[in-house]
Each structure stands twice: as structure tokens, then as C-alpha cells.
Amino acid sequence: MESLAAVDARLHRELQSRYEALVPVLRHGTQLGGKRLRPALLLLSGAAMHADRTSKNPLTTEELATTEDHIVMATVVEMVHTATLIHDDVLDKAATRRHVPTINARWNDDTSILLGDYLFAQSFYLAATLPSTLACRLVGQAAQKVCEGELRQVLGRDWLDIDEETYLDIIRGKTAELTRVSCQIGADLSGGDESQVEAFARFGNDLGIAFQIADDFLDLWGDDDDVGKTLGTDLQQGKITLPLIRLLRHEDTTVATAALDALRLSPEDRLARVMPLLRKSDAAEYTRKVAESYRRSAIEAISGFAPSSALESLKTIADFAVDRRF
């Protein structure tokens, strides 16, 4: 995808410094974003919106499907996402991310926090270069909601009576908000009207929720090498995710009580006690079913747009969000 390569080039160009000591840190930071999912969602949403408008109005064929503004904002959302990952690695005391040493492991926590702050600051500066302030405001609001979601999860560690609705609300902030706003901005920059932009925003929201539920599934039932991190990390850190919420509400009270007792153990002892209980329950099947329902809802949100390769790519990403192994 040529436009995604342009985002990578812009990202590297933005993360430069005249201070030689900063260069390796900034360069390393660009390697931590991983899949470039959020820039891809912004660019594809813009291209799909453009294709829909072109199919209904031939006069729009001379407009570019991907403009410089799309590239700039795709770079911005990736910077924001990378900043949250770098801060997450400090909170999680993570040594690697997708087989790459984290900033805090290679340097230290202080460097990680400051680099995350640097990325946030640079992203908002870059967003402010667009003629309209709308995209900058949307990204600012999204960053706030991401931080709210992360704060709620940190403050809610070992919250054993958390319910599914609260869990979904937390991941709607910490994960889905940035995928939502990526799709929203992409469609808006391509001239979508209010209802069209909202449809792409709904796609991004439900995709993000499906993606996070799949992430929580993989933390328990994935493969270390595929996932790129040690399994059970969330469990050890007291993050009560959907599989555990389902287990704690098992119809057999002896299983539910055993799960409660296991989760009250020391972090290093929890996984060995919880996994056999999970295997006795329908937690894995239920978690995948909920993720699948959000995948279907995401695809339904954009089903009314004209067929295009970009639209098909968005649907493929929705499939990947649930079916992936990493």
C-alpha cells in the first residue's frame, strides 16, 4: 500500500532531532507500532469514502483518493498509538513488544515516559498544521478517552466483581476510541457527510472492541511466539478481562468460587490455577462469540457503501481482528 509507505516515511521524518543522543531512541520508537492498523484504517476509510462519492458523482473522479492531509493524520494517529504503547510498557514492566526490546528495557522508565510525551506533543503539533482544526480536536478527544480507559483499568486491577458492561466500556475507551476516530477522520477528509462519517466511526468502534476482546483471548490461549509476549500477563497484573468475567459467573458455583480463590492468589500463582478452570468452562467459546458479534456489527456499519477494493480491505481487517493469532 503506497500511501502506508508514505506514512512510514513521514513518521521517520517527524521523529528527527538535532541532538545526536536522541536519534537512536526516536528511531527505536518507530519500530514499536507494529501492524500500522490505525493509519491503514484512516487511509482505507478515506479511499472507500472517495470511491462511494465517485460512484454517485463522476465530477469527483478528479479528486485524489488519498491527500496529503490523509497522510498527515495517519501519521498523527500512529504517533498517538505508539505513545500509549510506550507508556503501557512502563506500566506493565514489559521487556519486549513483538520481539523488539521496549524502550524501558533498552534504556529506562524515565526515557520511556519522556518519549511517550514527546510523541503526544509532536502528534498534536502535526495535526494543527491542517487547515481545519476538526481533526486535531478529534485526536485530542480520542487521546483523552484512551487515557481514561487506561486509568480505569489500572485503578480497577483485581476488581473481581467487574461486570461485562463495565469491561466493554473500558476497552471502548482504551482501544476502540483510536480506531473509531481513525476511520472517522479518514471519511471526513474524503468529503463524507455527517451520516457517512458516523457509519465509518461505528465501524472503527466495533472493530476496536472486537480487536481488544481477541487480544484478551490471545493473552490466555495464544502462542507466546505468535503473540510476541508472555501469555497470562494480563492475569498476573490483575486485569480482569472477558474470559475471566465469564468464568466468575459460571453456573456451577463450585467452579466460580474456585476461580475467585485462584484470582486472589499471588500474581505468579494465578495462571496455573485458573487455566484448568477456564478449560472446564465455556469462557473461550463465549469470548470468541462476543468478538464475532462486534465483527459482524462493524461490517454491517459500512455495508451500504459502494463496492471498492478499499471497502473490501476494511472488511478483511475486521476478519483479521477476530481470527488473528497475534
- For the chain, which residues make up each domain, given as ranges? 2-54+65-323
Given a contact cutoff of 8 angstroms between Cβ atoms, the answer to whether 173 and 29 are in contact is no
What does the CA dihedral 108, 112, 118, 120 come to, rounded to 10 degrees? -170
Query: In this predicted structure, what is the pLDDT of residue 84?
Result: 92
Query: In this predicted structure, what is the pLDDT of residue 35?
Result: 78
**Each residue's pLDDT tens digit, 60-109:** 554 567 899 999 999 999 999 999 999 988 888 888 877 788 889 989 99
Query: In this predicted structure, what is the pLDDT of residue 92?
Result: 82
- Does the structure show a pLDDT above 70 at 300? yes
Query: In this predicted structure, what is the pLDDT of residue 27?
Result: 87
What does the CA dihedral 233, 235, 241, 242 come to, rounded to 10 degrees? 110
- Tell me which fold the domain 2-54+65-323 belongs to: Farnesyl Diphosphate Synthase (1.10.600)
Residue in the structure block whose three cell numbers are 487506561: 150
- 66 contacts: CB under 8 Å, gap ≥ 6: 3, 43, 46, 47
Query: In this predicted structure, what is the pLDDT of residue 196?
Result: 98
Q: Residue 180: name the closest of 276, 41, 23 by CA.
A: 41
Q: 165 falls in which pLDDT band (50, 70, 90)?
A: very high
Query: In this predicted structure, what is the pLDDT of residue 185?
Result: 98
Residue in the structure block whose three cell numbers are 503506497: 2
Query: In this predicted structure, what is the pLDDT of residue 168?
Result: 98
The grid coordinates listed for 193 are 457527510
Q: Radius of gyration (Cα) for the chain, nearest Å?
A: 20
- Does the structure show a pLDDT above 70 at 173? yes
Given a contact cutoff of 8 angstroms between Cβ atoms, the answer to whether 286 and 246 are in contact is yes
- Does the structure show a pLDDT above 70 at 23? yes
Mean pLDDT of the chain: 91
Q: Say what the pTM is.
A: 0.93
- Does the structure show a pLDDT above 60 at 29? yes
Query: In this predicted structure, what is the pLDDT of residue 32?
Result: 72
Given a contact cutoff of 8 angstroms between Cβ atoms, the answer to whether 102 and 96 are in contact is yes
Query: In this predicted structure, what is the pLDDT of residue 224?
Result: 64
- 90 contacts: CB under 8 Å, gap ≥ 6: 104, 109, 112, 113
- Distance from the first to the final alpha carbon of the chain: 21
- 193 contacts: CB under 8 Å, gap ≥ 6: none
Query: In this predicted structure, what is the pLDDT of residue 217?
Result: 96
- Does the structure show a pLDDT above 60 at 151? yes
Query: In this predicted structure, what is the pLDDT of residue 61?
Result: 53
Q: 198 falls in which pLDDT band (50, 70, 90)?
A: very high
Q: How confident is the model over 119-125, as a mean pLDDT?
A: 94
